[in-house]
Each structure stands twice: as structure tokens, then as C-alpha cells.
Amino acid sequence: MSAPESTYVIEGSTGPWELVIGLEVHAQVVSKAKLFSGASAEYGAEPNSQVSFVDAAFPGMLPVINRECVAQAVRTGLGLKAEINLVSRFDRKNYFYADLPAGYQISQFAHPIVGKGVIEIELESGAIRPIGVTRLHLEQDAGKSMHDQHPSQSFIDLNRAGVALMEIVSEPDMRTPEEAGAYLRKLRTIMRYLGTCDGNMEEGSMRADVNVSVRKAGEPFRTRCEIKNVNSVRFVMQAIEAEARRQVEIWEAGGEVRQETRLYDPSRGETRSMRSKEDAHDYRYFPDPDLLPLVIEQEWVEELATHLPELPDAKKARFMSQYGLPAYDAGVLVMEQATADFYEAVARGRDGKIAANWMLGDFFAGLNRMGRGIEDSPVSAEGLGGLLDLLADATINGRIAKEVMEAMMETGETAAAIVEARGLRQVTDTGAIDGAVDQVLAANPDKLAEYKAGKEKLFGFFVGQVMKAMAGKGNPALVNEALKRKL
Ligand code: ADP
Ligand code: MG
């Protein structure tokens, strides 16, 4: 992969250290039913109310693959520009844990359904970096142990047992916490566009295992540690930094980093050891004898491909060419499908750049202030468009438009209604403007003298005073013109 743009390093006593980061993301598949059973996969139900005999691993029960989950994995693979493997296999990954009734998890080990792909991330500097995706495989989720329900007992909720997960493994291509954050956000955006994972990290439907090592520039990779189950982008970035610092200290003290699984504690800002790393052979993987190899048809893959939505990269490129937007603005607007759709509804038949400026400026600021998202915005796309129309036909000026925007946010009324009710129409009557100019000049004889003596900066002061005298409603171009004439 191409060289990193960033020069992020950790400074140790022996000089700078570079970071090496690879992410394993578990993404819960959007699907009505589980991967191998017909039980509901919906989140938040009463404990153990969505458990089939297969999920509870009753003897003699046979898994039956859910076609929709396979389709979701293929769609995700296509969204990651990855190889789709027409033949893949399910293996048993054996381990013993209270919330895993079968004693094994059905997963894909040697033959995943999706092979190598790529995610392009955009950094704050504007640089674009491709990050390699090693593979995507399908597997079952485990149940959930609940230790906080009873003083001396633990409870098990098997609702999650058997729910389909996609494990998406990256190459160790990332070099900075920022890149890891950008990778996760981009992956989440792509899956949300595809409708294959809701990306909700708080509910655990997307979680990341973070692999970190450090090295001196140009060296081969050193031993990594894996930080398990980090559940927010911010914590992933913090965990990387904390873990890299810990490793630098160990190496510089003459020690050696041991490969292990660690946990990140956000309240302390540090990682701690959970267990020494298990290797593949510890899981005694073997092909699941209950399941035939998964064989899919190329035509089916192509059929799925033709129904994919326009993905964020393509949409961004189109926004730039169709509406003339700068890369940054287009990038922000396509981050969420709902935002992109809202923007296009506003921009349709209007100036795309002005529409983007208003959305990224006052509109988003207003939503932020109210703690709302675009889905529950008090102002619709049509409403915002209405405001831009009043601006475009010079019914109001830019300053008043900001005021109207705020009022729209508060009241949910249309721009036109607010402008009429509050009498905010722009004054273009040159008689009224001239009157205001005369009044301001008469009220500021000293400033006028200074201006005449050469202090031309004062022009702005006069513009401000005239606007104030007209309650902000003067047409700025006409006010300027009148002032120039009279001064
Ligand atoms: P395992 O299956 O044991 O977890 P993998 O080879 O699949 O091991 O790697 C898991 C993750 O660790 C991948 O995301 C990979 O990019 C990352 N990784 C591998 N080597 C390193 C390293 N030296 N430093 C940081 N990350 C690494
Ligand atoms: Mg792993």
C-alpha cells in the first residue's frame, strides 16, 4: 500500500516510533432472522425470548443457512470492492464459555466468503489513503452473560446467540489513530449505505478489535497486542495511543512486548492484560460436518451488484462535478445517506454551492444547538429550499436570512411566513435608503470629517450604521452605492 501521508510518531527516549495498526471489525448483519435459525435477530427484546432450539444447541438440531445473511455479506464485499468467493466453507471454532451453548461458534476460517478489498479513507489534510481489507467472513455471535442482575449468580441471555456477524479484517496498513478512526467511520458509512449493518456502536452492532504494534521507521513489524471489543471510534483512537505508549516504554526499558489480548479502560485511559493470545490451533478449527460448502452463483452476485445503491465515494465525486462542491464539503454531505438526500432535495433546481454552504453552516449549527439529527430536523429540505429562494430573488438579504433560519428552527414555520409576519423584506426603495444614509451622516459629523480627511476604513462603519438604522433590512448593494454617492 502507498506510504502514509501523516508523520505521526511517538517520541521515546530513543527517538521516534512508528505505529502499525490493523482492525478486526465485527458487524452485525441487518437481517430479520439469525444466521442458521429462524429466530428473530432484533435487538432489545426480553432476555431469552428469541432463541430457537438451534441457537440453544439442543442435540440433533441442524443449522440451515439464511440466504439473506449471505446476500448481505456479498453486498458488503461488493461495497469494499472485494473479491467474492463463489465457494466458501463453514468451520467450527471451539471454545468453552457459558454464553456459547454449543461449545463452538460456526465461523469461516480458511475459506471466507469475501477476499481482498479496499477502503479509501480521507484524512483531515485532505489526503486519501487506501487501506487494504484482508477478508470478510460470516460467523455466529455468542450469547450474553449478565453479571449485574444478582449478587451471587450470573445470567445468560441467548437472544444474541446465532445472530449473523460479518468479521471484516484489515491489513496492518494504518499508521495513526486518526487513520484508524477514519477507517471505522468509512466502513460504517459504507455498510449503512448498503443497509447491511446499522453501525450502531453503542448497541454493540459494530465492535472493533484493535491490533497495535510499534517499530522504528523502516523496520519489519514487531509483536502486536490485540485490544478486544472497543465500542466507540473515540475509544479506538485513545486505546491505540495508550497501547502504543505502553509498548514504547517496554521496548525502551530493554523489555519485550508479549503478544496478548488486552482490554481498554476508558476511565483510566490505559489498556490492561486480559489473557495471553490464543492461536488458531487453540480453537481446533475443523469444517462443520452439518454444513455443505456454501456455493453461490456468479449471476446472483451480479444481480446483487446491479441493485447496490450509489456508494459514498461515487456520490462524493458526483457532488463535486454536478454541483461544483469542494472535496471537503462533498465529503461531509455524503457521510450519512440521509444528509446526502436532504442536500440533493435542497439543491434541486437551486445553486448547489449556496445550498451546501447553508447546510454546512447555519443549518448544521442550528441542529447541533438543538441536539438534533437531520432525521428529526424541524426544518425540512423543502423549508430550507424556500429560504434560499427568498435569498435568490432578493426578497431578503443574507443577514436577515440567518435570522430567519434561526426562527425557522425554533418555530418550524416557513421562511415566507416568518418574513411576512416580522416584516423582514429587504428594502430596495432608494428613497428610504438615501434617507437612512443622510440620517447617519448627519448623526456622525466627526466620523464624516475623519473619512473626508482620508480615513477610508470608516466606510464599513457607515455601512454598519445605515444597516442598523434600517433594522438590517437594507439591500447591501444599494446601501453601498448610496453611501459612495453621498460620501
Ligand atoms: P489473528 O487471526 O491471530 O487475529 P491475523 O493475522 O488475522 O491474526 O491478524 C489480525 C489483525 O492483526 C489484522 O487486522 C492484521 O492487520 C493485524 N496485524 C497483524 N500483524 C500486525 C502487527 N505486527 N502490528 C499491528 N497489527 C497487526
Ligand atoms: Mg483475530
Sign of the C-alpha dihedral computed for residues 63, 67, 68 and 74 taken in this order: positive
Q: List pLDDT tens digits, range 66-119.
A: 999 999 999 999 999 999 999 999 999 999 999 999 999 999 999 999 999 999
Pairing state between β 206-215 and 225-230: antiparallel
In a domain, 4, yes or no: no
Query: Going by C-beta distance under 8 Å and a sequence separation of 6 or more, which residues neighbour residue 211?
Result: 21, 22, 23, 24, 172, 224, 225, 226, 227
**Ligand 1 atom closest to the CA of 24, numbered from 1:** 14
What is d(CA 74, CA 282) in angstroms, rounded to the nearest whole number?
29
Residues 6+ apart with CB under 8 A from 468: none
On whether both 84 and 136 belong to a single domain, the answer is yes
Residue 254: Cβ-neighbour burial (10 angstroms; 0-12, 13-18, 19+):
exposed
| Element at 67 (helix H, strand E) | helix 67-79
* Ligand 1 atom 2, closest CA: 280
What are the cell numbers at 26? Answer: 465485527
Atom of ligand 1 nearest to the CA of 171: 16
Domain identity same for 165 and 37: yes
Atom of ligand 1 nearest to the CA of 23: 14
Task: Name the pLDDT band for 7 (thresholds 50, 70, 90).
Answer: confident
Give percent above pLDDT 70 in the chain: 98
**Cβ of 221 below 6 Å from ligand 1:** yes
**Residue 3 placed within a domain:** no
pLDDT of 454 reads 87
Q: Which of 93, 116, 210, 211 to mutate for ligand 1's pocket (most ligand atoms within 8 Å of CB)?
A: 211
Mention every residue, 6+ apart, whose C-beta is less than 8 A from residue 96. 103
Closest CA to 122 of 390, 312, 318: 312
Ligand 1 pocket test, pick from 19, 24, 174, 210 with the greatest ligand atom count within 8 Å of Cβ, gives 24
Within a domain: residue 2?
no
Indicate whether 334 and 229 sit together in one domain. no
Q: Note down the domain range covering 357.
A: 310-422
Is the pLDDT score of 207 beyond 80? yes
Centre of ligand 1 from the C-alpha of residue 259, in Å: 11
pLDDT at 36: 98
Domain boundary among 278, 304, 330: 304
Query: Residue 118 corresponds to which cell in the numbers above?
Result: 479496499
| Residue 233 and residue 257 share a domain | yes
The one-character DSSP state at 53 is T
> Is the residue at 375 inside a domain?
yes
218 and 246 housed in the same domain:
yes
The Å distance, Cα 37 to ligand 1 centre, comes to: 31
Q: Considering the domain boundaries, does residue 345 fall inside one?
A: yes
| Contact assessment for residue 196 and residue 72, using Cβ atoms and an 8 Å cutoff | yes
Question: Pick from 470, 446, 468: which is nearest to 458 by CA?
Answer: 446
For atom 7 of ligand 1, the residue with the nearest CA is 169
Which atom in ligand 1 lies closest to the alpha carbon of residue 277? 3
Is 107 close to ligand 1, i.e. is its CB under 6 Å away?
A: no
The average confidence (pLDDT) of the chain is 94
Kindly state the greatest CA–CA separation across the chain: 99
Indicate the top mutation candidate among 169, 176, 219 to test ligand 1's pocket, ranked by most ligand atoms within 8 A of CB: 169
Q: Measured in angstroms, how far is the CA atom of residue 211 from the centroid of ligand 1?
A: 6
| Residue nearest atom 14 of ligand 1, based on CA coordinates | 22
List C-alpha distances in Å: 251 to 12, 13, 96, 273, 466. Answer: 10, 11, 34, 17, 68
Which atom of ligand 1 is closest in space to residue 222's alpha carbon? 23
State the pLDDT at residue 1: 43
For the segment 432-449, the average pLDDT, to the nearest whole number, is: 88
d(CA 295, ligand 1 centre) in Å: 28
Say yes or no: 418 and 434 in one domain: no
Per-residue pLDDT tens over the stretch 219-274:
999 999 999 999 999 999 999 999 999 999 999 999 999 999 999 999 999 999 98
What contacts 345, CB < 8 A, 6 or more positions away? 381, 382, 385
Per-residue pLDDT, 6: 54
Which pLDDT does position 487 carry in this prediction? 80
Instruction: Give the C-alpha distances (Å, rounded to integers) separating 101 from 36, 38, 142, 160, 451.
Output: 15, 17, 9, 12, 86
Q: How far is 229 from 250, CA to CA, in rounded Å?
A: 24
Residue 448 and residue 377 share a domain: no
Which of 161, 143, 144 shows the shortest CA–CA distance to 54? 161
277 CB near ligand 1 (under 6 Å) = no
Which three cell numbers mark 382? 423543502
Give 425's pLDDT tier (boundaries 50, 70, 90).
Answer: confident
Of 304, 336, 362, the residue that ends a domain is 304
Query: Per the domain annotation, does 158 fall within a domain?
Result: yes
What atom in ligand 1 is closest to the CA of residue 211? 26
- Regarding whether 403 and 338 lie in a shared domain, the answer is yes
The C-alpha atoms of residue 334 and residue 327 are separated, in whole angstroms, by 11
Q: Which three cell numbers stand for residue 205?
A: 452492532
Q: How confident is the model over 268-303, as pLDDT tens digits?
A: 999 999 877 777 678 999 999 999 999 999 999 999
Query: Do 104 and 229 have their domain in common?
Result: yes
278 and 165 together in one domain:
yes
- Do 117 and 235 fall into the same domain? yes
278 lines ligand 1 (CB under 6 A): no
In a domain, 297, yes or no: yes
In angstroms, what is the span from residue 310 Cα to ligand 2's centroid? 31
Cα–Cα distance between 71 and 302 in angstroms, integer?
11
Q: Is the CB of 20 under 6 A from ligand 1?
A: yes
Angle among Cα 410, 373, 368 to the nearest 5 degrees reads 60
pLDDT category at 370 given cuts 50, 70, 90 is: very high
Give the C-alpha separation, 257 to 246, whole Å. Answer: 9
In this prediction, what percent of the chain has a pLDDT beyond 90?
Answer: 79
Of the three residues 380, 400, 422, the one that is the final residue of a domain is: 422
Ligand 1 pocket check for 211: Cβ under 6 Å? yes
Ligand 1 pocket check for 260: Cβ under 6 Å: no
pLDDT tens digits along 441-457: 889 999 888 988 888 88
Given a contact cutoff of 8 angstroms between Cβ atoms, the answer to whether 51 and 88 are in contact is no
How many structural domains comprise the chain?
Answer: 3
Q: Is there an atom of ligand 1 within 6 Å of 9 CB? A: no
CA–CA dist 302, 314 (Å, integer): 19
Residue 119's DSSP bridge partners are: 131
Q: What single DSSP character describes residue 103?
A: S
Distance CA 329, CA 332 (A): 5
Question: In the predicted model, is pLDDT for residue 166 greater than 90?
Answer: yes
Query: Is residue 198 situated within a structural domain?
Result: yes
Rounded distance, CA 417 to CA 404, Å? 10
E strands within 216-368? 225-230, 260-265, 270-276, 286-287, 294-295
Alpha carbon distance 241, 235 (integer Å): 10
Q: Do residue 479 and residue 411 come from a single domain?
A: no
